[in-house]
């Protein structure tokens, strides 16, 4: 069982969260380059960074392709006028049937303002209300205290700690991962349900 397509674009109170395009490469590169020291302890993909603009174009082509084909749903997090990338997020089907995993990072200049919580809340709602999943997961390194606040603030339940299940960094050991989950039946009573968003399809049409 796959998932129904999630929205291409979400507008929240303070953010635009939308499918990446290859033309976003310069803005994405600026955000990643500026945030590398802050991201490195937590995001395994930063091992390959920094990369040049051509590599970013190729990456965003891949992201866009995956999104269009329904294989994976990476989003850019943008300022409301879409002039600045404020982070990256995604709805990832890699956690089994009828479920999506949310990942996120925030530009170092924009942390501590509740933006990760706003994005994760809107994507949680979109996963249930548009992709029609039964479960949303967020997986976090047990020592990533800042990140653990995000699912807890939204009403996710700490379900399990999987041992040595996070990929190792080069030369390192695999790390444990804490799995936070929310079920579709739990959304209405959760703080996530109060995160406002508007959703749009690939043609830019507002979704109900």
Judged by CB under 6 A, the chain residues 51 through 110 that form the site for ligand COA are: 104-106
Is the N-terminal amide bond of 33 cis, ω within 30° of 0?
no
| Token couple for 91 | 């709805």
Residues 152 to 171 in contact with ligand COA, rule: CB under 6 A = 153
Query: Is the Cα torsion angle 123, 128, 131, 133 positive or negative in sign?
Result: positive
From the list 38-46, 157-165, 167-175, 181-189, the region that binds ligand COA by CB under 6 A is: 38-46
Contact 121, 195 (CB under 8 A): yes
Stretch that binds ligand COA, among 12-20, 57-65, 76-84, 114-122 (CB under 6 A): 114-122
End-to-end CA distance of the chain: 23
Query: Residue 34, interface with ligand COA (CB under 6 A)?
Result: no
Closest separation between CB of residue 126 and ligand COA, Å?
17
Angle between helices 145-154 and 115-129 (to 10 degrees): 50
Q: How far is the CB of 40 from ligand COA (least distance, A)?
A: 9
**Interaction site with ligand COA (CB under 6 A):** 38-39, 42-43, 104-106, 111-117, 140, 144-147, 149-150, 153
């Amino acid at each position: 069982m796959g998932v129904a397509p999630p929205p291409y674009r979400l507008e929240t109170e303070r953010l635009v969260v939308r499918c990446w395009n290859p033309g976003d490469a310069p803005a994405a590169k600026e955000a990643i380059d500026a945030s590398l020291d802050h991201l490195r302890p937590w995001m395994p993909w930063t091992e390959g960074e920094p990369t040049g603009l051509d590599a970013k174009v190729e990456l965003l082509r891949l992201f866009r392709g995956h999104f269009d084909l329904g294989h994976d749903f990476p989003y850019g997090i943008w300022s409301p006028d879409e002039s600045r990338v404020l982070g990256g997020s995604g709805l990832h089907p890699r956690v089994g049937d009828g479920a999506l995993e949310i990942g996120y990072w925030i530009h170092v200049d924009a942390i501590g303002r509740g933006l990760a919580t706003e994005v994760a809340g809107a994507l949680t709602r979109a996963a249930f209300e548009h992709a029609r999943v039964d479960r949303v997961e967020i997986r976090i390194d047990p020592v990533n205290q800042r990140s653990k606040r995000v699912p807890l603030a939204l009403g996710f339940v700490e379900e399990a700690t999987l041992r040595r299940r996070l990929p190792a960094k080069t030369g390192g050991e695999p790390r444990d991962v804490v799995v936070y989950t929310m079920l579709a039946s739990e959304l209405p009573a959760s703080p996530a349900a109060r995160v406002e968003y508007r959703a749009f399809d690939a043609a830019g049409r507002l979704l109900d």
